[in-house]
Amino acid sequence: MKACALSDSNTNCHLPEETITGYMSRPGDIIMGGTFLIHLDRVYSNIQFTSKPPELQCQMMEIIMCVLEKVPDPFSRRSFQNCITDIASWDADAVECHPCSWDTWPNLQQDRCLPRITEFLSYEELLGYSLAAISIFSSLIPLVILGIFIRFQNTPVVKANNYSLSYLLLLSLFLCFLCSLGFIGYPQLEKCILRQVAFGMVFALCISCVLAKTITVVIAFNATKPGSRLRKWTGVKVSYCVITFCVFIQIIDCVFWLIFSAPFHELDINTQPGVIIVNCNEGSPTAFWCMLGYLGLLATVSFIVAFLARRLPDSFNEAKFITFSMLAFLSVWVSFIPAYLSARGMYTVAMEVFAILSSSWAVVGCIFVPKCFIILFRPNMNSRENLRVTRTA
């Protein structure tokens, strides 16, 4: 309930002083000195008027009280309304509360409206610039590995695993790490439209390269059998056809997504009280989950094919490494789904960035780190003699 001072035309307060723990500073003002209790029935019954009842003038005081029921006002025939959490602003001489604007929020005393806090995954916050630094550092790793592969491209460990596909996969991983930066910073409309689409197509390219490498391993081994008809499929054309087909399906999904229900910039004021969450609304949840589901389908097919080919007798058979990389990839994104659905605000975006970085590192760590270890630290294993001995065994 609002504390009000009743005054007549001569600005003399008629509230009994003994009912208030405080003192009068000047006519019409009451300065509170502590907890006070006003018995409205006594106040009204003890006031005697010899003329027309004075006009009710409510003067704002330091303390605002809320009541559950309406308290009648016998002079102006108006009532004090219940205090509501999003209604807190009063004029000096008003009885009723005024709602705050959409971008403001009442303070604890509910006597003024304060600007809402704006929340998004910013570069200026610890979480934001930490993820950005990890993304930039991680994007350099595929470039370093690419330099190592180019430097040692004539060695057996590079040649045995279709180095052209390895180059394309490393470039796609470089883009995968960089696309996570699109989720950090203020989510403008252009960023909202491009970031999910870029993520979906780049990851589709990455997993398609892994699938093509797995199929290449299976075809290459079976083509060595006498009279095999698979020898004509051992070239790079088959690999690039697989990649083109798989990426094309993802492109179609993203194009329909952008045409019919594109992501857009959104200001959310309902999730957290007093906070404006600036985020990107995905537009069509169906298109978003179809994009992720397609990536999961590609990873699952790659995992199954690599698992079946993991025991092929090849010294540099990377099927077992692809198996572990796809298993880690699927584990990350399966764990991402409940975390994404339960997180709120900038932590939803942070979870997706973390999933992008983790799944990309799974591919780099499981497929390329063992090769770099052999090239740099075990050069005796990077020889034709070792390859022949292993194949003979």
As a whole number, the mean pLDDT across the chain is 76
**Domain 126-392: homologous superfamily in CATH:** Rhodopsin 7-helix transmembrane proteins (1.20.1070.10)
Structure-model confidence comparison of residues 162 and 74, the more confident one: 162
Domain locations along the chain = 1-112, 126-392
Structure-model confidence comparison of residues 44 and 325, the more confident one: 325
Q: What confidence category does residue 350 fall into, taking pLDDT thresholds of 50, 70 and 90?
A: very high
pLDDT of residue 108: 80
pLDDT of residue 339: 86
- Mean pLDDT highest for which of 72-76, 157-161, 226-230? 157-161
pLDDT of residue 319: 80
pLDDT tens-digit readout, 248-281: 999 999 999 999 999 998 888 888 888 888 889 8
Look up the pTM and report it.
Answer: 0.72
Cα(357)–Cα(352) distance, integer angstroms? 9
pLDDT of residue 49: 45
Structure-model confidence comparison of residues 286 and 72, the more confident one: 286
pLDDT tens-digit readout, 98-142: 788 888 888 887 778 888 888 888 898 899 999 999 999 999 999
Structure-model confidence comparison of residues 59 and 322, the more confident one: 322
Mean pLDDT of 178-202: 92
Residue 380 has pLDDT above 50, yes or no: yes
Mean pLDDT of 54-68: 36
- Mean pLDDT highest for which of 64-73, 246-255, 314-323? 246-255
Residue 87 has pLDDT above 60, yes or no: no
Residue 90 has pLDDT above 90, yes or no: no
